[in-house]
């Protein structure tokens, strides 16, 4: 596993929801001078997607080299074909990740972009309207989707730029020896000593040298937590190690609070519910968010460690898919993100241990069966790494 490469001197700006993210992204595309590199899991053919697509096409028309990677499953087969045709006509280079599962089950779940090698965006927002359910475009949400991204300027952009360009090369006709060299090439400076300035780092998950990088970053931060942990994820189904780390932090007096999305997938909810009793008995506080679709994958620990990115706390994100998060060691940024999480918690519904323990027996058995099935499937997919 590659060491986490921290860099100092970065300007990081938190963007909440699409009404902050998409105007900033489109403005950056319109100001681009030489190149744009974009990756997204979903590129929807809706008004928001049309605006982003139009900005990319405008940039290509000015002579900017535009490269776009979309995930075939997330975007959809028909939609991917339409994008490919329209982008080709406009001079935008487009590649679809893993069509028809030719490279196994792994999906490209990352959402990140670099403009002119000096400005980057990364987070959890797909290119899709904030008011549309990302699993069913026919469903309108009651309120804008709850999600985050980061705008980054500074030395860290170089690591994101290399990651995007490496992905593009791997999806092309790259000789085997070049692929191996790309995987072995260092991604930047190693983790600095404790007294060196360390502001932010890119952490990715892939199936080669970064198989458990994101989980290890969480485990390290939880293991050093002193006061409180705020963790937000729409899909909660971590392996045993991450659950144990949450319980351990709570047992030593750290206030651990989970804000979880519910209501989108009943099977996912059942798996998450199977973990609730043990977590709550260990002192973990759980709040369910039902106001709208919660899609943010963020955390703040002790107001000096924060992460924003694409990785859910579930088996697919932590052990299967390609993911990208930013870890920020900055008190001001952490406080800003913390305030958003506290607002989300105020809008959520706390889960009470005594009430949850009194669920009907059939429901409890269903949750247990969902967990056993999920664990069995994940262990097969991950060749036993899901733990």
- Residue 346 CA to residue 287 CA, distance in Å, equals 9
- Residue 254 CA to residue 59 CA, distance in Å, equals 49
Give me the active site residues, please: 109, 111, 116, 295, 297, 302
Place domain 6-171 in its CATH homologous superfamily. Endonuclease Chain A (3.30.870.10)
- Summarised one tens digit per residue, pLDDT across range 173-203 is 755 444 444 444 444 443 433 433 438 999 9
DSSP-assigned letters across all residues of 12-52: EEEEESHHHHHHHHHHHHHH-SSEEEEEES-B-SSHHHHHH
- Length of the chain, please? 387
Joined together, the tokens standing for residue 156 give: 């860290």
- Residue 243 CA to residue 280 CA, distance in Å, equals 11
| Banded pLDDT at 158 (limits 50, 70, 90) | very high
Report yes or no: 247 and 286 within 8 Å, Cβ to Cβ. Answer: no
Residues forming CATH 3.30.870.10 domain(s) in the chain: 6-171, 201-381
Helix (H) or strand (E) holding 122: strand 119-123
Report yes or no: 4 and 217 within 8 Å, Cβ to Cβ. Answer: yes
What pLDDT is recorded for position 173?
77
- Residue 125 CA to residue 25 CA, distance in Å, equals 11
- Summarised one tens digit per residue, pLDDT across range 124-144 is 999 999 999 998 888 999 999
Joined together, the tokens standing for residue 42 give: 């979903």
Distance of CA 211 to the CA centre of its chain: 15
Protein fold of 201-381: Endonuclease; Chain A (3.30.870)
Mean pLDDT of 300-315: 96
| Banded pLDDT at 4 (limits 50, 70, 90) | confident
């Amino acid at each position: 596993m590659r060491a986490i490469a921290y860099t100092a001197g970065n300007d990081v700006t938190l963007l909440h929801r699409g009404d902050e993210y998409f105007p900033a992204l489109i403005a950056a595309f319109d100001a681009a001078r030489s190149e744009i590199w974009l990756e997204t899991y979903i590129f929807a053919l809706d008004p928001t997607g049309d605006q982003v697509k139009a900005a990319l096409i405008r940039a290509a028309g000015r002579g900017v080299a535009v490269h776009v990677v979309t995930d075939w499953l997330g975007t959809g087969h028909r939609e991917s074909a339409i994008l490919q045709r329209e982008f080709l006509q406009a001079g935008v280079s487009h590649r679809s990740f893993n069509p028809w599962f030719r490279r196994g089950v792994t999906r490209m779940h990352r959402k990140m972009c670099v403009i002119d090698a000096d400005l980057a965006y990364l987070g959890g927002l797909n290119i899709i309207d904030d008011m549309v359910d990302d699993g069913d475009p026919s469903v309108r949400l009651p309120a804008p989707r709850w999600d985050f991204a980061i705008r980054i300027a500074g030395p860290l952009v170089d690591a994101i730029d290399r990651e995007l360009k490496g992905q593009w090369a791997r999806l092309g006709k790259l000789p085997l020896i070049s692929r191996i060299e790309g995987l072995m090439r260092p991604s930047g400076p190693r983790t600095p000593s404790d007294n060196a300035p360390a502001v932010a780092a890119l952490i990715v998950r892939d199936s080669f040298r970064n198989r458990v990088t994101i989980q290890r970053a969480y485990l390290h931060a939880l293991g050093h937590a002193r006061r409180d942990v705020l963790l937000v994820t729409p899909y909660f189904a971590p392996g045993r190690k991450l659950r144990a780390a949450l319980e351990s932090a709570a047992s030593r007096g750290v206030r651990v609070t989970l804000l979880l999305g519910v209501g989108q997938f009943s099977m996912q909810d059942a798996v998450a519910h199977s973990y609730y009793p043990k977590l709550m008995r260990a002192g973990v506080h759980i709040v369910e968010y039902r106001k709208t679709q919660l899609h943010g994958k963020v955390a703040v620990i002790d107001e000096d460690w924060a992460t924003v990115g694409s990785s859910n706390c579930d088996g697919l994100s932590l052990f299967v898919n390609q993911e990208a998060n930013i870890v920020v060691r900055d008190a001001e940024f952490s406080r800003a993100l913390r305030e958003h999480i506290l607002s989300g918690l105020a809008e959520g519904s706390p889960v009470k241990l005594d009430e949850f323990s009194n669920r009907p027996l059939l429901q409890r058995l269903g949750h247990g069966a969902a967990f056993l099935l999920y664990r069995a499937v994940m262990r097969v997919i991950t060749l036993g790494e899901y733990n």
